[in-house]
Amino acid sequence: MARIRPDFGKDDWLSPLVEAGFDLHQPALFLWEGVTPYLERAAVEAALHKIAGTARGSLVAFDFFTTEMLESQALVLRLVRASLRAGGEALKFGLDSTPPLSERLTALLRSCGFALIEQRTLGQETKGKRALGGFAIAIVQ
């Protein structure tokens, strides 16, 4: 099977999978690592909607950043963002980091046709400290 390297903001990435034998009617796992931070919000939502259009019970597992990672003025995070921009990989998408993060994540997933199964947070979330991101697993309802 040929590797597909889509531009999630522009390309139809699902049709080539179907043409290569992917069965839309069988539950599948979509492993989506290292992608969402580099997309515009509309592209993230569009891809999630497309995945949600596959078989009920399909899973998506993905990592994500929060707005804290994109907006923090901490020196180390400013340096990370600057080096990514210099390499042509600017960070674009982050979930609202207002605690509790699980509420923001659940709302996004629900609006796209998913139910959150599991979430792991990157960084400790407290009243005074916001999470930098996390990892989630969601199921097509």
% pLDDT > 90, the chain: 84
Instruction: Quote the pTM value.
Output: 0.90
Residue 115 lies in a domain: yes
Compute φ and ψ for 57, nearest 5 degrees. 95, -10
Q: pLDDT tier at 1 (50, 70, 90 boundaries)?
A: very low
Q: How many domains does the chain have?
A: 1
Q: What is the CATH number of the domain that holds 43?
A: 3.40.50.150
Residue 11 lies in a domain: no
Token couple for 90: 């600017």
* 34 has a pLDDT exceeding 90: yes
Q: How many residues does the chain have?
A: 141
Tens digit of pLDDT for each residue in 6-24?
A: 777 778 889 989 999 999 9
* 88 has a pLDDT exceeding 90: yes
